Amino acid sequence: MAVNEMVLKTLQEAQEPLKAGDIAEKAGIDKKEVDKAIKALKKEGKITSPKRCYYAASE
């Protein structure tokens, strides 16, 4: 599974917005990889940032 997919899946399973560090911990991936994935997913419109440094899957 690609890092982007893992990040998206983690956010979809979470009941609340998560920080990049929390996503990395839950998905078991490096935070730098998570940061890159977040950037890409935000550009694609798959995730949103409801508040600064927190991310959630788009509905």
pLDDT per residue as tens digits for the range 13-58: 999 999 999 999 999 999 999 999 999 999 999 999 999 999 999 9
DSSP 28: T
Q: What six digits make up the tokens of 58? A: 């788009």
The domain total for the chain is 1
Q: pTM for the full model?
A: 0.92
Domain that holds residue 26: 3-57
CATH value at residue 31? 1.10.10.10
* Nearest of 49, 43, 44, 33 to residue 1 by alpha carbon: 33
- β-sheet with 18-19: strand ranges across: 18-19, 54-57, 47-48
What percent of the residues of the chain are helix, what percent strand, and what percent coil, each to the nearest 5? 55, 15, 30
What would the pLDDT profile of 5-15 be if each residue is shown by its tens digit? 999 999 999 99
Residue 13 CA to residue 36 CA, distance in Å, equals 20
